[in-house]
Each structure stands twice: as structure tokens, then as C-alpha cells.
Amino acid sequence: MPLIPLRPVLDAAVANGYAQGAFNVNAVAQAEAVIQIHELFRSPAILQGADLANAFMGGAVDFAKGTLEDKKRGAKNIAAAVRRFAESSPIPVVLHLDHGKDFESCAAAIEGGYTSVMIDGSSLPFEENVELTRAVVQYAHARGVSVEGELGVLAGVEDHVFAAGSTYTNPLSAIEFFRKTGVDALAISYGTMHGANKGKDVKLRREIPTAIRECMNHAGIRGALVSHGSSTVPQYIVNEINALGGQVTNAHGISRDELKAAIGCGISKINVDTDIRLAVTRNLRELFEGRPDLKQDERIGGIWTLLDQRRDAFDPRVFLPPVMDTLMYGTGDDGTVALVTDAMRRGVREVVGTLIVEFGSVGRAPLVEQVSLEEMARRYAAGEV
């Protein structure tokens, strides 16, 4: 199927009371695995490329310093891979930009083939956030592309997103934000955190999404609420990484029970990135543990060198530059490189499959309307959504 906008996927989730997981990818093999596991469970799929993931997929190994040109190349690479796997898929697939940091990054993603973008103006004063988000909405909706905004600040670190503390989302401000910007979805701050160090036994303030959803219903506002910083950080994976020579410390996530309870309070999209990073890193360490001869392999031995040097790291982008062409284009995926991509795919399927079940999106693919970008642009222009 062709890629579709985010809006119809979230409309189905809101109407039917489940949540849609949204999973970050940084390589062709990861995109393939995310779509495959959603097909297995007949779930709609939301694949996310973060702003810096675009830089990485554009060839910027030091992706934190990626340029706009890197992001443009990377957006096209991610979109090409996702389209290739989605075209033969029976499920609806969305490609969504996670944490676009400015208008230019969002425009680059749309130009590259993304069907949904998130503009993160949460660090700005309210009116500046509104102004920036509204500009992205106007640009994106004219092209049939959905838009997610953010209101409130999440603590933690993920790519270029950093905050020392949280500022919870004010429900009345959320209603004003929806009205002034026209966003399709809003990421809120209600106790989640970016990164792997969320603290033990986090309790989410579920009264916040409950109040926002009730206010939205009263005001007749259609839209979805999004939970960022929601990785569960499975402890068994952390323990396995460390047993294989890693040194990942103070890693704790949001419990599945807390996230499932939040779904009943109005959360319809749940973002997950760290869990995938952990599972892929564990599988890479396991690969070299089981096949020590690969540590000297001409094609992939450099991955082991980086794993050994950065024992505290769990972001696969730190270890995988020796096979950049395979990550970016899917080329050269044979021989010993295929062992690496297989490890990546298995890690993705393990954690994503678990959360598809937990979030309740199993079998929901038929509920999603197949809307083209052209038709969605018409609906936006006509005020039908």
C-alpha cells in the first residue's frame, strides 16, 4: 500500500480506545523489521525517523552535527526504504518525523517523503510555540501531511532533545493550542521522560490526559494525545547487555502497566525508541560473543571494536558506522554483514511485537481508512478534519 498520513491511523485509535505504538528506526533493516512484525499482528504501523536519524541516514556519522543537507538526504533514504517495504504490505504504514526542531527540518522531511511530521516547539514560550507550529501545520496540511505538536517539557535526553526537569501540560493551554494551531496530535508532558534513565517506579499523572481529553470532547476538538519518552527499558535486556560486557547503568523505563492505564485516559500514540536500541545492542554483543572470529572480520570487525570501546553506550548508531552503506541503502547486505542486519531485525521484532500486543493494536489494520495525501490535503482545505 502507499504510505498514508498519520491522521487516519490516530482517528481509528481514538475511536476504538487503543493506542498505536510509534517506533523509531535508523536503518533500512530496522524499517523492514518494524513493518514485518506489524504485518504479523495485522496492526497499522507508525515508523518514526527522528530529526537526527535523518542526519545519520544522510551519511553524518557524527549525527549530532548533521547539516540540513544531511537531513534532506537521510529523509529521502528512510522514505525510500519504508515505501519499498510498505508497497507490498497489506497494512497501513505511516512515516513520521520525530522531534523536528525547526520549520526547515520539517519541510526537508516532507520533501523527502514523510507523510507526517512533529514540530517540537515545547521549549519556546507558548505564543512562539503556537506561531511555529501553526506555520508547519499550514505548510504540511497543504500537502496532505499530518502534524504533531508538543506542549509541556519532558525531562531527559534523547538526540538533541534535553531538559533537566519537566513542566506538566496545562489542560486548558492544550485546548487553546489545538484551536490556534490546528494540529492533528499533541504530545503532552504527564510524567514520562526521554532516554533510558527515567527513574524507578515512575507513576504517570493520568489526570492530565484525562482532563485534556474531557476538555477536547466538551469543546468538540478532534485530535490525538501522544506519549513521548515512553520506552519500557526491559530490565532483562539491560541485564543481558551487561552480562555480555556492557556497562549500562541506571536504566529504567515506564512500566507497561502504567502505559496501558494511560491509554484508558486518552493517550492514543506511544513513542518508543530506547527499547529498540537496547535490543539491537544486546544482539550485536551476543553475535560477537558467540562468534569471536568475527571480531577480526574485514567487513564487520570494526563494529566489535566500537562495542568494546564504548561499553556504556547502547545506541547502535555508535557501533554501526563500519556498515553505513547497508544502513542507508540496504546494499551489501550479505555474508558477515547479513549477520549484523539479522541481529538488528530480531531485536526490533522482539520489542516491537511485545508492545503491539500490550498497546492493543493487534488486528486493527482494517479499521484505518486508506487516505491518500491528495485526498487528505483536500479534506484539510475543506475543513473536514
Alpha helix (H) residue ranges in the chain: 6-16, 28-40, 51-57, 68-87, 103-112, 126-141, 171-181, 207-219, 235-243, 256-263, 274-290, 301-309, 324-329, 335-359, 373-382
- Dist CA 17 CA 132 (whole Å): 31
CB atoms under 10 Å from CB of 344, counted, come to: 29
Distance of CA 221 to the CA centre of its chain: 25
Name the grid cell of 376: 487528505
Residues belonging to the chain: 385
β-strand partners of 194: 156
CB atoms under 10 Å from CB of 176, counted, come to: 15
- Dist CA 341 CA 324 (whole Å): 12
- Dist CA 275 CA 289 (whole Å): 21
Sign of CA dihedral 346, 350, 356, 359: negative
Name the grid cell of 315: 545506541
Torsion of CA 273, 279, 283, 286, to 10 degrees: 130
- The 10 Å CB-count burial string (b at 16+, else e) for 188-210 is bbbbbbbbbbbeeeeebbbebbb
98 is catalytic: yes
CB atoms under 10 Å from CB of 51, counted, come to: 27
Cβ pair 323, 300 in contact under 8 A: yes
- Dist CA 308 CA 317 (whole Å): 14
- Dist CA 200 CA 251 (whole Å): 9
The strand pair at 224-227 and 45-50 is best described as: unpaired
Q: Which of 11, 70, 98, 184 is catalytic?
A: 98
CA angle (147 as vertex; 145, 148 as ends), nearest 5:
155
Active site members: 98
